[in-house]
Amino acid sequence: MAYDTSNVFARILRGEIPCKKVHEDEHVLAFHDIAPKAPVHVLVIPKKPYVSLDDFTREAGAEEVGRFFKAVGDVARKLGVDQSGYRTILNTGGHGGQEVPHIHAHILGGRAIGPMVMTR
C-alpha cells in the first residue's frame, strides 16, 4: 500500500493541523489522541512516512525500528505511567482496525485498561 500524504498524521507533521504535543525530536512526534479512550491516551509516530507496522518492519532497519520503540518507552515515562502501567497498541490494516494510515503506537493509561481485546 502506497503512503497517502494527505492522511491526518502527515498533515499534523507538516503543521497543517494542530496537535497537543507531548514530545518531539528529529525522528518522532508524540501527541494526545483527539478522542481519548483513557485518562492518558497519547500517539507516538515516526516522522518518516510508513503506512503501518507491516510497512515499517519491511522497509526500516533494525536501528530505526529500535529507536521508535525506545521513544515509545521514553514517552510513557514522560507521561508518568511507567510505574502504574499502560497498554501499547499498534493497529495494523483492516482487520487490525487501523484508521489512520501512518504507523502510530497508542499509549493508554491513567487507569486499569481492562480486557486485552476490546469487543464492540
- By beta-carbon proximity to ligand 5GP, the closer residue of 57 and 91 is 91
Closest distance of CB 106 from ligand 5GP, Å: 6
Helix (H) / strand (E) containing 78 = helix 62-79
**How many other C-beta atoms are found inside a 10 Å radius of the C-beta of residue 12?**
20
Q: Using the minimum distance from each CB to ligand 5GP, give the nearer residue, 73 or 97.
A: 97
Cβ-proximal residues to 76 (8 Å cutoff; 6+ apart), any chain: 82, 86, 88, 107, 109
Q: Does 22 bind ligand 5GP (CB under 6 A)?
A: no
Which range of residues in 53-61, 65-73, 76-84, 92-100 is near ligand 5GP by CB under 6 A?
92-100
Query: Does the annotation mark 41 as catalytic?
Result: no
- DSSP classification of residue 97: T
Q: Is there a contact between 44 and 12 (Cβ–Cβ < 8 Å)?
A: no
Q: Which residues contact ligand 5GP by CB under 6 A?
A: 8, 17, 19, 31-35, 91, 97-100
Active-site positions read 104
